[in-house]
C-alpha cells in the first residue's frame, strides 16, 4: 500500500533517534535489560515551581484557545529572558511560540525556503534539519567537519559553500549531536562572512543554551549588522527538563514571525495553554541563580567526564571534549570491517545494531547526523547506568576480531 501514499511521505526518512528508541522499547518489552544512550532528553524532573504554575493554570480553568503565537504574557517573558540572559532586545511581535522547537524550525524553513533554494548545514547536524528542508523542496548543502577541529566549520568552508541560490544557513550551538560550542570570536568570524550576503538568513538553534560547560553562551544575533536576518530558535525542553510540555519559540524579524503565525494557524494553531503558563515560570527563572539548573548542569558535566574517561580507555576510539549539550560523538571507524560470528561490521549502522542486539545498549549511528564515522552517545542517564552502558560498549568492541 506504500504506492498509495504521497511521494512526499515516502521520501521522508524516519527520525533515526526515534527509530532507535522504538527498537529499544521493543526489546525492553520482550524482557531485555536495554540501556538507551540514544534518547535526547534530560532524565531530571521538571522543577517544582514550574509544575505549580501549570497546576494553578488548571485550577483557574486556563484551558481555552490562546492566540496562535502564544499568550502575550509568555511572549513578554521570552523578551525578558532574551534581554536578561542574552542582551538581546525583542518585542512580543517578534516572538512566535510553537509546539516545541522542532515545529518552530519547521515553520521557519517552510516560510522562507522555496523549491531549489539552498540551505547550508554544517555537518554533523540534528537529524530533522535535512528532512524538513526536503519537505520544503529546498536543497541541503553540507559543510563537513571533523573531530580534530571540534566539529566546527571554518570561514573558508562557509565562503566556499555560498552560491547565488543560498537562502539560509542553519546550525546549533551547543550542538546536537557533537556537543560543540561556538565561541564569541568564532561566531563573529561567521557573522562577518554572512554580512557580505544580505539575502541569506541565519537560523540559530540554541535549545541547549543552558547546558553549556564554558560558562558563557553567545548568540550570533548579538551582532547587530546581521540581527535582522537571524531567526533565534529556543525553548524550555532541555534547560528546564520539560521535553513533554512541548514549548519552543522563535525570536525573528517581524515579517518572519507573522509568516510563521500564518502557517501555524493552519497546522496546529496555538501551543497547549497550560504549558504556556508553565513556560512563563520557567523563563522567569534566572539560570545563574537557580539551584535546580545549576545542579543539573553539574550532573551533566560529571557524567560527561565519566563517559570521556571510560571511552578514552577503549583502544582506537577518538573523542573531542564536548563543551555543551549532553552528547559525545566518538569516531568508531576503526571497528568497521571487524568480524563477529563470521559477520562483518561494515559501518556505524551495523555496529549499533550489533551492540543493541548482543549487548543491549542503544546508540545512534553517526550517519543520521551526517558523520558516518561516528556514533552518538547521550549521557542524560544516571551515573550507574552510564558506567554499565560504556562497560558493555567496551566489552562489545573487544569481542570484535
Parse the chain into domains and list their residue ranges.
2-45+290-398, 64-283
What's the confidence (pLDDT) of residue 159? Answer: 98
The percentage of the chain sitting over the pLDDT mark of 70, rounded to a whole number, equals 100
From the number of C-beta atoms within 10 Å of its C-beta (0-12, 13-18, 19+), residue 284 rates as: middle
User: Is the per-residue pLDDT at 381 higher than 80?
Assistant: yes
Give per-residue pLDDT as tens, 51-90: 999 999 999 999 999 999 999 999 999 999 999 999 999 9
Query: Can you give the pTM of this predicted structure?
Result: 0.95
Q: Are 289 and 93 contacting, i.e. CB atoms less than 8 angstroms apart?
A: no
Helices vs. strands in the chain: H and E counts, helices first? 14, 14
Check if CATH label 3.30.70.1880 holds for domain 64-283. Answer: no
**pLDDT tier at 323, thresholds 50, 70, 90:** very high
Region 2-45+290-398: CATH code:
3.90.1150.10
End-to-end CA distance of the chain: 42
What's the confidence (pLDDT) of residue 21? Answer: 76
Cell numbers of 215, please? 560558562
Residue 109 to residue 104: CA distance in whole angstroms: 9
Cell numbers of 208, please? 541547549
Q: How far is CA 79 from the centre of its chain?
A: 22
What's the confidence (pLDDT) of residue 27? Answer: 79
Laid out side by side, the sheet with 201-205 consists of 95-98, 248-251, 230-235, 201-205, 166-172, 118-123, 139-144
Nearest Cα to 371, choosing from 331, 341, 342?
A: 331
Report phi then psi at 172, rounded to 5: -125, 145
User: Residue 164: which residues within 8 A CB-CB, separation 6 or more?
Assistant: none
Nearest Cα to 356, choosing from 375, 384, 379, 329?
A: 375
User: Is the per-residue pLDDT at 18 higher than 80?
Assistant: no
User: Is the per-residue pLDDT at 225 higher than 80?
Assistant: yes
The percentage of the chain sitting over the pLDDT mark of 90, rounded to a whole number, equals 91
Tell me what the mean pLDDT of segment 168-196 comes to: 98
What's the confidence (pLDDT) of residue 19? Answer: 77
Amino acid at each position: 500500500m506504500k504506492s498509495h501514499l504521497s511521494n512526499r511521505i515516502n521520501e521522508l526518512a524516519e527520525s533515526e533517534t526515534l527509530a532507535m528508541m522504538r527498537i529499544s522499547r521493543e526489546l525492553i518489552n520482550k524482557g531485555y535489560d536495554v540501556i538507551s544512550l540514544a534518547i535526547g532528553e534530560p532524565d531530571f524532573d521538571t522543577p517544582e515551581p514550574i509544575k505549580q504554575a501549570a497546576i494553578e493554570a488548571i485550577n483557574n480553568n486556563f484551558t481555552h484557545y490562546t492566540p496562535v503565537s502564544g499568550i502575550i504574557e509568555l511572549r513578554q517573558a521570552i523578551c525578558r529572558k532574551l534581554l536578561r540572559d542574552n542582551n538581546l532586545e525583542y518585542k512580543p511581535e517578534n516572538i512566535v511560540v510553537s509546539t516545541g522547537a522542532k515545529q518552530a524550525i519547521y515553520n521557519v524553513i517552510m516560510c522562507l525556503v522555496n523549491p531549489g533554494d539552498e540551505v547550508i548545514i554544517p555537518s554533523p547536524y540534528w537529524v530533522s534539519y535535512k528532512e524538513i528542508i526536503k519537505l520544503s523542496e529546498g536543497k541541503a548543502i553540507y559543510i563537513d567537519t571533523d573531530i580534530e577541529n571540534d566539529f566546527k566549520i571554518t570561514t573558508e568552508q562557509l565562503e566556499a559553500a555560498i552560491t547565488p541560490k543560498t537562502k539560509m544557513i542553519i546550525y546549533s550551538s551547543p550542538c546536537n549531536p557533537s556537543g560543540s560550542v561556538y565561541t564569541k570570536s568564532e561566531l563573529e568570524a561567521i557573522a562577518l562572512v554572512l554580512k557580505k550576503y544580505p539575502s541569506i538568513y541565519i537560523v540559530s538553534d540554541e535549545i541547549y543554551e543552558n547546558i553549556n560547560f564554558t560558562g558563557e553562551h553567545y548568540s550570533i544575533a548579538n551582532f547587530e549588522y546581521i540581527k535582522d536576518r537571524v531567526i533565534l530558535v529556543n525553548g524550555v525542553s532541555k534547560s528546564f527538563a520539560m521535553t513533554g510540555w512541548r514549548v519552543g519559540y522563535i525570536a525573528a524579524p517581524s515579517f518572519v514571525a507573522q509568516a510563521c503565525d500564518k502557517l501555524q494557524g493552519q497546522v496546529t494553531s496555538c501551543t497547549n495553554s497550560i504549558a504556556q503558563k508553565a513556560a512563563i515560570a520557567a523563563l522567569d527563572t534566572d539560570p545563574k541563580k537557580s539551584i535546580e539548573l545549576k545542579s543539573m548542569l553539574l550532573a551533566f558535566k560529571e557524567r560527561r567526564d565519566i563517559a570521556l574517561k571510560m571511552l578514552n580507555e577503549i583502544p582506537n576510539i577518538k573523542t573531542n571534549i564536548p563543551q555543551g549539550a549532553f552528547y559525545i560523538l566518538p569516531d568508531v571507524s576503526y571497528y568497521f570491517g571487524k568480524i563477529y560470528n563470521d559477520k562483518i561490521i561494515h559501518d556505524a549502522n551495523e555496529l549499533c545494531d550489533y551492540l543493541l542486539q548482543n549487548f543491549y545498549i542503544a546508540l545512534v549511528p553517526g550517519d543520521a547526523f551526517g558523520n558516518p564515522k561516528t556514533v552518538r552517545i547521550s549521557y542524560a542517564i544516571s551515573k550507574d547506568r552510564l558506567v554499565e552502558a560504556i562497560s558493555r560498549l567496551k566489552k562489545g568492541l573487544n569481542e570484535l576480531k
